[in-house]
Amino acid sequence: MKNDGKVLRNRLEKYKMVAAVKDPKYMERAIEYKDNLSAVLLMTGTILTVKRYVDFLQSQGLPVILHVDKIGGLEMDRDGIEFIKRNVKPAAIVTTKTGIIKKAKSSGLYVIQRVFLIDTDVFTNLVKDASKNQIVSDMIEVMPCRAPDFLEKLKKVSPVPVITGGLLNAPEHAKKALNRGAMAVTTSNVEMWKIDLNNFLM
Protein backbone atom coordinates (compact mmCIF):
# COMPACT_ATOMS: atom_id res chain seq x y z
CA MET A 1 0.00 0.00 0.00
CA LYS A 2 1.41 3.37 -1.00
CA ASN A 3 2.54 5.79 1.66
CA ASP A 4 -0.17 8.15 0.44
CA GLY A 5 -3.05 10.01 2.07
CA LYS A 6 -5.32 9.72 -0.98
CA VAL A 7 -6.12 6.05 -0.36
CA LEU A 8 -6.85 6.82 3.27
CA ARG A 9 -9.13 9.76 2.48
CA ASN A 10 -11.05 7.76 -0.10
CA ARG A 11 -11.65 4.97 2.41
CA LEU A 12 -12.63 7.43 5.16
CA GLU A 13 -15.25 8.93 2.87
CA LYS A 14 -16.56 5.48 1.91
CA TYR A 15 -16.52 3.45 5.14
CA LYS A 16 -16.78 6.10 7.91
CA MET A 17 -15.30 4.05 10.81
CA VAL A 18 -11.68 3.69 11.95
CA ALA A 19 -10.75 0.84 14.30
CA ALA A 20 -8.52 2.10 17.11
CA VAL A 21 -6.27 -0.85 18.05
CA LYS A 22 -4.68 -0.54 21.49
CA ASP A 23 -3.46 -4.15 21.78
CA PRO A 24 -1.98 -6.40 19.07
CA LYS A 25 -4.54 -9.12 19.83
CA TYR A 26 -7.25 -6.93 18.28
CA MET A 27 -5.57 -6.67 14.89
CA GLU A 28 -7.18 -9.93 13.75
CA ARG A 29 -10.59 -8.64 14.84
CA ALA A 30 -10.11 -5.48 12.78
CA ILE A 31 -9.30 -7.62 9.75
CA GLU A 32 -12.39 -9.74 10.44
CA TYR A 33 -14.58 -6.63 10.13
CA LYS A 34 -12.53 -4.79 7.51
CA ASP A 35 -15.53 -4.47 5.17
CA ASN A 36 -16.98 -2.00 7.70
CA LEU A 37 -13.73 -0.14 8.37
CA SER A 38 -11.84 2.55 6.54
CA ALA A 39 -8.54 2.14 8.41
CA VAL A 40 -6.81 1.07 11.61
CA LEU A 41 -5.55 3.64 14.10
CA LEU A 42 -2.60 1.72 15.52
CA MET A 43 -1.87 2.70 19.13
CA THR A 44 0.39 -0.16 20.18
CA GLY A 45 3.83 -1.56 19.43
CA THR A 46 7.48 -0.66 19.80
CA ILE A 47 10.18 0.42 17.44
CA LEU A 48 10.98 -3.31 17.05
CA THR A 49 7.45 -4.48 16.18
CA VAL A 50 5.71 -1.54 14.53
CA LYS A 51 6.83 -2.28 10.97
CA ARG A 52 5.56 -5.86 11.23
CA TYR A 53 2.18 -4.69 12.55
CA VAL A 54 1.79 -2.03 9.85
CA ASP A 55 2.84 -4.40 7.07
CA PHE A 56 0.40 -7.05 8.28
CA LEU A 57 -2.61 -4.72 8.49
CA GLN A 58 -1.90 -2.96 5.20
CA SER A 59 -1.38 -6.29 3.41
CA GLN A 60 -5.01 -7.01 4.36
CA GLY A 61 -6.20 -3.81 2.68
CA LEU A 62 -6.53 -1.68 5.81
CA PRO A 63 -4.54 1.57 5.71
CA VAL A 64 -2.77 2.28 8.99
CA ILE A 65 -2.85 5.58 10.84
CA LEU A 66 0.10 5.27 13.21
CA HIS A 67 -0.19 7.02 16.56
CA VAL A 68 3.51 7.86 16.87
CA ASP A 69 3.16 9.14 20.45
CA LYS A 70 2.22 5.59 21.55
CA ILE A 71 5.08 3.62 19.95
CA GLY A 72 7.65 2.48 22.52
CA GLY A 73 11.25 3.50 21.87
CA LEU A 74 10.35 5.82 19.00
CA GLU A 75 11.68 9.36 19.15
CA MET A 76 10.12 11.55 16.49
CA ASP A 77 13.18 13.63 15.69
CA ARG A 78 14.39 13.89 12.08
CA ASP A 79 15.79 10.33 12.14
CA GLY A 80 12.62 8.94 13.69
CA ILE A 81 10.47 10.63 11.08
CA GLU A 82 12.65 9.27 8.28
CA PHE A 83 12.46 5.80 9.85
CA ILE A 84 8.66 5.95 9.81
CA LYS A 85 8.56 7.33 6.27
CA ARG A 86 11.11 4.97 4.65
CA ASN A 87 10.70 1.75 6.64
CA VAL A 88 7.33 1.60 8.40
CA LYS A 89 5.33 3.38 5.66
CA PRO A 90 1.92 3.92 7.30
CA ALA A 91 -0.80 5.66 5.31
CA ALA A 92 -0.68 8.48 7.87
CA ILE A 93 0.54 9.36 11.34
CA VAL A 94 -1.40 10.96 14.17
CA THR A 95 0.06 13.01 17.01
CA THR A 96 -0.90 15.70 19.50
CA LYS A 97 2.49 17.43 19.20
CA THR A 98 2.76 20.53 17.01
CA GLY A 99 6.53 20.20 16.58
CA ILE A 100 6.17 16.67 15.20
CA ILE A 101 3.32 17.74 12.91
CA LYS A 102 5.46 20.42 11.26
CA LYS A 103 8.54 18.22 10.82
CA ALA A 104 6.53 15.23 9.59
CA LYS A 105 4.59 17.36 7.10
CA SER A 106 7.79 18.86 5.70
CA SER A 107 9.14 15.32 5.20
CA GLY A 108 6.10 14.35 3.12
CA LEU A 109 4.15 12.26 5.63
CA TYR A 110 0.34 12.53 5.76
CA VAL A 111 -0.35 13.96 9.22
CA ILE A 112 -3.44 13.98 11.44
CA GLN A 113 -3.49 16.35 14.41
CA ARG A 114 -5.26 14.93 17.47
CA VAL A 115 -6.92 17.64 19.56
CA PHE A 116 -8.48 17.12 22.99
CA LEU A 117 -11.30 19.60 23.64
CA ILE A 118 -10.61 19.98 27.34
CA ASP A 119 -12.11 23.47 27.45
CA THR A 120 -13.48 26.25 25.26
CA ASP A 121 -10.05 27.91 25.01
CA VAL A 122 -8.69 24.93 23.09
CA PHE A 123 -11.64 25.03 20.73
CA THR A 124 -11.43 28.81 20.28
CA ASN A 125 -7.73 28.60 19.37
CA LEU A 126 -8.40 25.74 16.96
CA VAL A 127 -11.15 27.70 15.20
CA LYS A 128 -8.91 30.77 15.08
CA ASP A 129 -6.10 28.77 13.42
CA ALA A 130 -8.57 27.21 10.98
CA SER A 131 -10.12 30.56 10.12
CA LYS A 132 -6.68 32.01 9.37
CA ASN A 133 -5.76 28.91 7.33
CA GLN A 134 -3.00 28.13 9.84
CA ILE A 135 -3.78 24.42 10.19
CA VAL A 136 -0.52 22.65 9.35
CA SER A 137 -1.84 19.07 9.38
CA ASP A 138 -3.71 17.26 6.59
CA MET A 139 -6.59 16.33 8.89
CA ILE A 140 -7.83 16.99 12.42
CA GLU A 141 -9.07 14.36 14.87
CA VAL A 142 -11.27 15.90 17.56
CA MET A 143 -11.55 14.14 20.93
CA PRO A 144 -14.03 13.31 22.34
CA CYS A 145 -16.66 12.66 19.68
CA ARG A 146 -19.52 13.51 22.01
CA ALA A 147 -19.28 17.22 21.20
CA PRO A 148 -21.35 17.48 18.00
CA ASP A 149 -21.99 21.22 18.29
CA PHE A 150 -18.25 21.90 18.33
CA LEU A 151 -17.74 19.56 15.37
CA GLU A 152 -20.29 21.46 13.32
CA LYS A 153 -18.71 24.83 14.10
CA LEU A 154 -15.20 23.58 13.36
CA LYS A 155 -16.21 21.92 10.09
CA LYS A 156 -17.55 25.26 8.82
CA VAL A 157 -14.12 26.90 9.08
CA SER A 158 -11.64 24.03 8.81
CA PRO A 159 -9.61 23.90 5.59
CA VAL A 160 -8.91 20.18 6.23
CA PRO A 161 -11.21 17.19 6.93
CA VAL A 162 -12.25 16.45 10.51
CA ILE A 163 -12.60 13.02 12.09
CA THR A 164 -13.54 12.30 15.69
CA GLY A 165 -13.24 9.64 18.38
CA GLY A 166 -13.29 9.04 22.11
CA LEU A 167 -16.31 7.98 24.21
CA LEU A 168 -17.94 6.48 21.14
CA ASN A 169 -19.79 3.32 22.14
CA ALA A 170 -23.14 3.44 20.32
CA PRO A 171 -24.17 3.83 16.66
CA GLU A 172 -26.20 6.90 17.61
CA HIS A 173 -23.00 8.66 18.75
CA ALA A 174 -21.41 7.95 15.37
CA LYS A 175 -24.49 9.10 13.48
CA LYS A 176 -24.66 12.38 15.37
CA ALA A 177 -20.95 13.09 14.78
CA LEU A 178 -21.15 12.25 11.08
CA ASN A 179 -24.30 14.33 10.61
CA ARG A 180 -22.52 17.30 12.19
CA GLY A 181 -19.63 17.25 9.71
CA ALA A 182 -17.15 14.56 10.75
CA MET A 183 -15.74 12.64 7.79
CA ALA A 184 -15.35 9.50 9.93
CA VAL A 185 -15.30 8.28 13.53
CA THR A 186 -12.68 6.32 15.44
CA THR A 187 -13.42 3.75 18.13
CA SER A 188 -11.70 0.94 20.00
CA ASN A 189 -15.08 -0.70 20.73
CA VAL A 190 -15.01 -4.01 18.83
CA GLU A 191 -18.81 -4.26 18.91
CA MET A 192 -18.93 -1.03 16.92
CA TRP A 193 -16.59 -2.49 14.27
CA LYS A 194 -19.29 -5.04 13.43
CA ILE A 195 -21.66 -2.29 12.25
CA ASP A 196 -21.83 -1.08 8.67
CA LEU A 197 -22.33 2.63 9.37
CA ASN A 198 -23.45 3.29 5.80
CA ASN A 199 -26.47 1.05 6.33
CA PHE A 200 -27.13 2.63 9.72
CA LEU A 201 -27.02 6.15 8.27
CA MET A 202 -29.51 5.38 5.49
Question: Is residue 201, in this structure, part of any structural domain at all?
Answer: no
- Predicted TM-score (pTM) of the model is 0.94
Question: Is residue 202, in this structure, part of any structural domain at all?
Answer: no
Q: What is the pLDDT of residues 57-91, one digit of tens each?
A: 999 999 999 999 999 999 999 999 999 999 999 99
Question: Is residue 98, in this structure, part of any structural domain at all?
Answer: yes
- Domain count along the chain: 1
- Report the pLDDT value the prediction gives residue 77, as an integer from 0 to 100: 96
Q: Return the ∠ at Cα 48 (arms to 44 and 50), rounded to 5°.
A: 40
Question: Is residue 141, in this structure, part of any structural domain at all?
Answer: yes
Q: Which residue range is the domain that position 155 belongs to?
A: 5-196
Q: Residue 165 pairs with which residues in a beta bridge?
A: 186
CATH for 83: 3.20.20.70
Residue ranges of the alpha helices (H) in 23-167? 27-32, 50-59, 78-83, 98-106, 120-131, 148-157
> For the chain, first and last CA: distance in Å?
30
Of the pLDDT bands very low, low, confident and very high (cuts 50, 70, 90), residue 1 is low
Residues 6+ apart with CB under 8 A from 19: 26, 29, 30, 33, 37, 39, 40, 41, 62, 186, 187, 188, 193
Question: Is residue 82, in this structure, part of any structural domain at all?
Answer: yes
Q: What is the pLDDT of residues 116-143, one digit of tens each?
A: 998 899 999 999 998 887 889 999 999 9
Question: Is residue 44, in this structure, part of any structural domain at all?
Answer: yes
Question: Is residue 127, in this structure, part of any structural domain at all?
Answer: yes
